[in-house]
């Protein structure tokens, strides 16, 4: 499907962005649309506007759960806003639609730890064993064990 957007072109003057022109209603195919929303959300996050970033990330996550960077971005924002369960649920949904995504599994391992699902995290870690090279798996496992030790201190 195609989506209609209004594009705004900016120009830089004296270190500030100024609106130069507005292009009416440009149609973008869905994969391109997801990337645009993702980068706009990253831009909002970088500028410190978490409210706008989470709004875009929620829409992106709802519209296209197959877009792995968008799901991971939403989950990371939820962690930042101290709502790890929302991020965990988004990752579960993303894995349901895209069970072969290594990036989602890696994020899911740590997200499951945050919400107290240690056995699920260990199961996901074992699933990653066959998909990561040995050095990467050892490094990832060390990070995992470090997080488990940190949680045990609390």
Task: pLDDT tens for the chain, 154 residues: list them.
Answer: 444 444 455 555 555 555 444 444 444 445 567 888 898 899 999 999 999 999 999 999 888 888 999 999 999 999 999 999 999 999 999 999 888 899 999 999 999 999 999 999 999 999 999 889 999 999 999 999 999 998 888 7
So what's the pLDDT on residue 77?
96
How far the first Cα of the chain sits from its last, in Å, is: 48
CA distances, 140 to each of 72, 80, 110, 145, 149 (Å): 17, 21, 10, 9, 14
So what's the pLDDT on residue 105?
93
> The whole model's pTM is what?
0.76
Q: How many angstroms separate the CA atoms of 11 and 19, rounded?
A: 6
So what's the pLDDT on residue 98?
87
The b/e string for 75-98 (b: 16+ C-beta within 10 A; e otherwise) is: bebbbeeeebebbbbbbbebbeeb
- Residue 91 near residue 107 (C-beta atoms within 8 A): yes
HSE (side-chain half, CA atoms, 13 Å) at 87: 25
So what's the pLDDT on residue 51?
92
């Amino acid at each position: 499907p195609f989506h209609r957007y209004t594009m705004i072109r900016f120009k830089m003057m004296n270190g500030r962005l100024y609106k130069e022109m507005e292009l009416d209603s440009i149609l973008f195919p869905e994969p391109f649309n997801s990337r645009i929303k993702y980068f706009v959300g990253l831009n909002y996050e970088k500028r410190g506007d978490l409210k706008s970033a989470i709004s875009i990330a929620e829409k992106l996550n709802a519209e296209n759960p197959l877009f792995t960077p968008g799901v991971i971005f939403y989950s990371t924002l939820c962690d930042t806003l101290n709502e790890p369960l929302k991020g965990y649920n988004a990752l579960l949904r993303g894995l349901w639609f895209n069970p072969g995504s290594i990036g989602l599994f890696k994020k899911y391992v740590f997200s499951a730890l945050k919400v107290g699902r240690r056995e699920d995290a260990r199961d996901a870690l074992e699933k990653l064993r066959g998909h990561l090279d040995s050095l990467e798996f050892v490094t990832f496992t060390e990070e995992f064990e470090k997080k488990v030790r940190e949680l045990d201190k609390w």
